[in-house]
Chain A
């Protein structure tokens, strides 16, 4: 594969052109055009996604799966079309394996309950890592409380990489499931998911991958990964908030009892007994986020047209550039130096607390995130109460990174001494 730095920008990714597709990127904040570097928190939306959602409400809106009239038929078509689009995007074997949820968190809770309650018993073990997001820790803690199983966190080294020897050592016949993030939201570490799946399966355990930060940075092929479950959120991949996906291998989903009860997830209801619907509807109770699914499909279309490979390459360039520039700021220490990283940089400054950094930087029109990033165990592991985090998407530029670096110099001059 050609080195990204040797390919002229225009043929790899036309960033200026792409930026024009995102209305919010021209917004002024504190008298300057916003430099939005908080993409790990949520991504901005291209006009195509905004229009797809608006158009749905302007022309199509009807409840799905229900009526025989045109609006319902068209809405159903659009909704199920979105499902097929998602299945294609992640290379699922069938759309029966794509369940729409509210987001990654709900997807994980769905598995922890519907799969967990009937498959995990006292004495069993669930493996997570020390760098998981709370959404991939707490549902498993709750499952362990319910069942008497044990939650076992796999350690990471000082660079923020999973200790693979420890992982292998901790896998045993009691392990029922490994829950691991594809990409760490706080550190940017890309976990060796394929290898972890191999090892887990060899030990007889299933694997759930928290893909919230994966889909926007890397090509995701759930069959190549071998994941049993893969969860992600629409709003982190340039789609609307309120929609997410749980991918699950058909055999697994088939065997799982339903989670939420209500309309649509049933085949027939009577007070003598109710029968449940087939996949994936069994897990989609009530009216779904129809416009969300349509917006998500439009976002995935947009990504494919820009090209995931070109996106990844540009983000890598941004990551390298940002790492270099930030390390020039006095007293700055990067937390998370894994060999394989997505475009996320967490850092601390000697001169000021992250919260103060974030406020000063915001004053320069630059948006970064400060705090524990819903990863308190991780913060404790690295001995910091919080970090500042810059997370880049493909529409970010070197100039925006320069603005961040300049703002950090301002922090140093204000707080230093």
Chain B
């Protein structure tokens, strides 16, 4: 069970029970993008308010498994006030964390702060898509600038 305790750490259970920034935002001026994991039914809408290249506000709505919801929630808390480049860098670091092989680097973990809670996901390849859904959706929103559907199929 220790593997599972690593996957379902307290942060994840907490953010699943009480997701932060869990609400809609008026569109426009915010942008909204839908993210969908058809395999298991995780479905979220990410709202982004970007002004002068800075993420002024971010929120989300939707439903799904604990991993996906906690990931979305943690993401929104980390993105506020970040520049586009910083948000991109965060996305990369998260992506590497959940898809990387072997034991995660302890320095890498320390530098991640709250994201470190998701280090256990790499041991559960079937859940990587859950953890990544919100991040991929956000990444697409920032990169493309247009509202479109995202899927981690």
A-to-B contact residues, CB < 8 Å: 30, 352-356, 359-360, 363-364, 370-372, 379, 385-386, 414-415, 417
Contacts and interface: CB of A to CB of B under 8 A. Distances in A.
B64 A385 contact: yes
20 contacts: A353-B65, A353-B66, A355-B42, A355-B64, A355-B67, A355-B127, A356-B8, A356-B65, A356-B67, A359-B4, A360-B8, A364-B1, A370-B40, A371-B39, A385-B43, A386-B40, A414-B13, A415-B13, A415-B66, A417-B17
Contacts of A363: 1, 3-4
Nearest to B124: A359
Contacts of A417: 17
Given A355-B130, A359-B124, A371 B8 contact: no
Given A355-B42, A415-B17, 10 more contacts: A352-B66, A353-B65, A354-B40, A355-B40, A355-B127, A356-B66, A359-B126, A360-B4, A372-B40, A415-B13
A372 B130 CA distance: 15
Contacts of B42: 355, 385
Interface of B: 1, 3-4, 7-8, 13, 16-17, 39-43, 63-67, 124, 126-127, 130
Nearest to B66: A356
Contacts of A30: 1
A389 B3 CA distance: 23
Contacts of A386: 40-41
A372 B36 CA distance: 14
A356 B130 CA distance: 10
A415 B41 contact: no
A354 B42 CA distance: 11
B40 A371 contact: yes
A371 B124 contact: no
A246 to B, nearest CB: 28
Contacts of A372: 40-41
3 pairs of A and B residues whose beta carbons are closest in the complex: A385-B41, A355-B65, A353-B65
Contacts of A354: 40-41, 65
Nearest to B69: A353
A267 B17 CA distance: 67
A385 B42 CA distance: 8
A173 B140 CA distance: 50
A137 B126 CA distance: 27
B41 A379 contact: yes
Contacts of B8: 356, 360, 414
A359 B16 CA distance: 15
Nearest to A417: B17
Nearest to B17: A417
Nearest to A353: B65
Contacts of B64: 353, 355, 385
Contacts of B43: 385
Contacts of A385: 40-43, 63-64
Nearest to B39: A371
Nearest to A387: B41
Contacts of A353: 40, 63-66
A358 to B, nearest CB: 9
A131 to B, nearest CB: 17
A130 to B, nearest CB: 18
A367 to B, nearest CB: 13
A372 B3 CA distance: 26
A372 B38 CA distance: 9
Contacts of A355: 40, 42, 64-65, 67, 127, 130
A47 to B, nearest CB: 30
Which of A30, A355, A379 gathers most chain B CB within 10 Å?
A355
A371 B41 contact: yes
Contacts of B1: 30, 363-364
B131 to A, nearest CB: 11
A103 to B, nearest CB: 20
A382 to B, nearest CB: 12
A385 B7 CA distance: 22
A355 B39 CA distance: 10
A353 B62 CA distance: 13
Nearest to B37: A355
A398 B7 CA distance: 30
